[in-house]
Structure 1
């Protein structure tokens, strides 16, 4: 699928339907544990893709939380005492775009190609309590697979953990109360920035 916005056209790196990338009828016959194993093994050697999975309950919580809180920022550690921020945007219930904040600010809103694209596949949610996640690394010059794994874990944690979600809510609803230095200091154990 091609998305066109003013000054922006890019192709989604992955299909939005699980059946387009796997043999869904065969996968549905397998137990949950085996599906997870196959999903992760399939992309293990791919340096451009990181995969994970969540439960149906986690998926529902994320979607409930993101409906009025679509944006957030997540730091990415780059070496010793260096990091930059990714700006995350839920553009639908199933897709999250993450773009380097400086690149995002350099262009107007919705311009520029994202660095990471997360696609959530919920086709197995009702039968296996399983939502498969695929994170495509669009810009591998600035972020690698390991860093992407940490970013996805942090994104999921901030949107599912009640105590941490307050930062997301504040960022979206009362931005003047979102104090970036407090956010980094209080969550540095997750970010490991210093």
Structure 2
């Protein structure tokens, strides 16, 4: 049964509080959870600061993130956004400038402003098989890979885009995002 336009709530920053996700590794799935926890442990022991931004994300939250970003950044026509069952949002405001402003407000409220690639409509986050984390360190660090071998990392950048750290993560089964665009914090079980 379709929801009438009158029963829908206009888009805006208030939607960022709906369908909350998780930042806890306990909400990750099966063996991926253990792989992530082992990788994080190895990084923190090496002196890498790890800040978890997201783990599990409900599909409804992915929908909000994807379309708010697309309207705000790709100038997608708000009237063309497909509905999602259980999300009674009206993307199209009376004026297109209002639709754009509401989408930008949502992007800000969802902490997507600095994201350089559109959030996936369907994501490994929805399955508990992805994690977004900010990683930083100073100087050289020595990180144990999953085989117990110490890998000294002297190269730049000193964040999650470091090639050597990406290789270490892969030994645990935690793979850096390898899709189009640039999603600095995203790691998953399959690189997507």
Q: TM-score, normalization: structure 1? A: 0.25
More strand by share: 1
Higher relative contact order at CA 8 Å, sep ≥6: structure 1 or structure 2?
2
Q: TM-score, normalization: structure 2? A: 0.25
